[in-house]
Amino acid sequence: MSPTAAQSHELLRNWPILVVAFVLVFLAFGIPTYSLPFMYGPAMEEFGWSNAQVNLISTAKFLIGAVAALGMGILVDRLGGRLAVLIGTATGGLAMALFLFATNLPVYYLAGAMLGFSASSIVAAMKIIVSRLFTIHQGMAVGIVLTATSTGGVVMPWVWGPLLEDGWNWRSIIAMMSFGPLLLAVPLWLIFVAMSKQSGPVIKAPTAITNSLSAWQHFRLICQDRNFWFIFIGIFLVSAVDQAVQQNTVQFFRVDKGMNLNGIAWAASLIAVLGVVGKVASGWMYDQFSIRGVRWTYMLLALSTWLILPVAGAFTLLLFIVTRGMAHGGMIVDVPTLTRHYFGVERMGLTLGTLSVAVNLGYAAGPPLLGWLADVNGGSFVNGMIIYGAIAAVAVLSLVRVSPRYWVPPAKRREVQAQAQGLAPAQAARVYAK
């Protein structure tokens, strides 16, 4: 069987988990993530909060998310992914409902913290589950699932724009969206895991441990690797830039470019459409080029951040949208790739959870700092965008000396496929990992 045929067979064999994972990530991660930028302006108008104050919800969301990602990674290693996804999905629904009562900053931040717990739980668990099930093209499979986040960006501008224009309160809109996770996602997940004879056992199974190291010893071992810190820092920096730009693009276009909500909705939706394409494309690219492909995505992120500055007409706007959408598409997919290609499959939940801490810390730091820079510059985001583009360029340098250790280049996959023929799934996965 050729590598291409093996890849197709693997995707077809496991398509149900891709569909279910997509729905859950969309409802509990994509919807709230792409709703936040449309909440900031109305919240500032209703309660007189500043740019920095409304953006601090991202700090609350992602600081809690950092803890949740590590905790859920360990939980999936020990107990499997069924419980982690269930807890995360239900928490996300409750968090969106809580915004109905967010008439003060403490409740506003509490709802954001619950969203962070939910999102990190679901995404961390799904990354691990999908990475277990797919061995040939793990990157593409993860990219397909995570297109659900960008799909939220396609849909939400066309939900929020018309509802806000019609006079709906922003708190009522986000609370209404809690029905998706609570009434659809939770039952869907329970039914799927119970009925799936193929994916269900993998989802419910703990991670196989092949060495005698404890979780703490494994954590200490990876932290002693100098490249771990280069990877961690790079992920932190690009996550800070990506989330800050995502959360503040709406305000940038409103304040610095004078665009109306309809024009912004069109631009934001097109960016998200390209993000969908970018996630699948980046997953394919990471499978083909590994960490070198991740460096290219980081460089594109820097370029796209600078390209928002000269937007003045259709061409410059389209240029920004294309580069921004493709760069954003490569984010999130990079962490499973770096985890598996550099650290392998041993205690993947713990390793991926640890690197997800860097993601969430970056998400927590990036938006409020950019909001603060706008506040001190009279509401303008221009200087902040210049600085953030430079930060993304630094992230490229952090990965220059990092090379994959557990990755099979395309030219060698036929040989590895032959070696894996006839082996049990767990044994075949280890062959591919090496």
Q: Tens of pLDDT along 312-342?
A: 888 999 999 999 999 988 887 899 899 989 9
Note the pTM of the prediction, 2 decimals: 0.76
Residue type, 222: I
Residue type present at position 381: F
Predicted confidence at residue 189, as pLDDT, reads: 87
Other beta carbons less than 10 A from residue 201's beta carbon: 11
150, 276 Cβ separation under 8 angstroms: yes
Place of tokens 């990602």: 69
Q: What fold characterizes domain 8-433?
A: Growth Hormone; Chain: A; (1.20.1250)
DSSP 8-state symbol, 36:
H
CA 65/CA 356 separation, integer angstroms: 9
Are 80 and 205 a contacting pair, CB within 8 Å? yes
SS3 151: helix
DSSP state of 207: P
351-368: b (≥16 Cβ within 10 Å) or e:
bbbbbbbbbbbbbbbbbb
Q: Which amino acid is at 315?
A: F
Q: How many residues in the chain?
A: 434
CA distance 38 to 247: 9
What is the number of alpha carbons within 13 Å of residue 26 lying toward its C-beta? 22
317: left (phi over 0), alpha (psi -120 to 50) or beta: alpha
What is the pLDDT at residue 320?
Answer: 94
The tens digit of pLDDT for each residue in 220-248 reads: 999 999 999 999 999 999 999 998 998 88
Q: Is the dihedral of CA 199, 274, 236, 288 positive or negative?
A: positive
Is the Cβ–Cβ distance between 138 and 287 less than 8 Å?
Answer: yes
Evaluate whether 25 touches 145 at the Cβ level (below 8 Å). Answer: yes
Return the axis-axis angle of helices 348-376 and 215-223, rounded to nearest 10°. 50
- CA dihedral in degrees (284, 289, 290, 296; nearest 10)? -90
Torsion of CA 253, 52, 329, 264, to 10 degrees: -20
Alpha-carbon distance of 25 to 299, in angstroms, equals: 27
Distance CA 33, CA 387 (A): 24
Of 115, 14, 124, 134, whose CA–CA distance to 76 is shortest?
Answer: 124
Three-state DSSP class for 41?
A: helix
Residue pair 13/73 in contact by the 8 Å Cβ criterion: no
* pLDDT number for residue 3: 44
C-alpha distance from residue 385 to each of 16, 36, 238, 243, 375 (Å): 41, 19, 13, 12, 13
| Residue pLDDT tens, the chain, 434 long | 444 444 456 777 778 888 888 999 898 888 988 888 889 889 999 999 887 788 788 778 878 888 887 887 777 777 777 888 888 889 999 999 999 999 999 999 999 999 988 888 888 888 888 877 777 777 888 888 888 887 887 888 888 888 988 889 999 999 999 998 888 888 988 888 877 777 777 777 666 666 667 778 888 999 999 999 999 999 999 999 998 998 888 889 988 888 877 778 788 778 878 888 888 899 889 988 999 999 999 999 999 999 999 998 889 999 999 999 999 888 878 998 999 899 987 788 888 889 988 988 898 889 889 988 998 998 899 999 999 999 999 999 999 999 999 888 887 776 666 665 555 555 544 544 44
Helix (H) or strand (E) holding 1: none
Provide the pLDDT for residue 233: 97
Task: Give 3-state DSSP helix, strand, coil % of the chain, rounded to 5.
Answer: 80, 0, 20
Q: What is the pLDDT of residue 263?
A: 76
Phi, psi of 418 (to 5 degrees): -65, -40
Instruction: State the greatest distance between any 2 C-alpha atoms of the chain, in Å, as a whole number.
Output: 66
Alpha-helical segments (H) within 168-214:
170-176, 179, 186-195, 200-204
